[in-house]
Amino acid sequence: MNFAEFMRGEKPQDTGPKSEYPKYKGFFLRHNKIREVIRGDREGLMRGFLWGGTPQGNAHWDAVWCGDANLTQSDMDYLHFLLEQQEK
């Protein structure tokens, strides 16, 4: 919002970040396990959510869980997105 819009009394539009992730399609979602992963315990991946229900898919999360790949910032963003979803 600029000053002119403010003076006219216009309400600011929500320009905050929008989720680009599709709805989670897994049949289980455990926030406590996802928080463990965010804190650095990758063992929580196994019981946190259904890997195949995510855009990253099974192979990606399996590589992270096995230690063949590290969690990226994009992965962390997705885990935070999952925390905003309703537990199943």
Q: What is the pLDDT of residues 32-69, one digit of tens each?
A: 999 999 999 989 999 999 999 999 999 999 999 999 99
Q: Quote the CA–CA distance of 9 and 21 in Å, as a whole number.
A: 34
Rg of the chain in Å (alpha carbons): 18
Domain boundaries, the chain: 26-88
pTM above 0.85, yes or no: no
Place of tokens 């962390």: 76
Predicted confidence at residue 23, as pLDDT, reads 86
Bigger pLDDT: 16 vs 61: 61
Predicted confidence at residue 13, as pLDDT, reads 61
Bigger pLDDT: 15 vs 26: 26
Average pLDDT over residues 63-84: 94
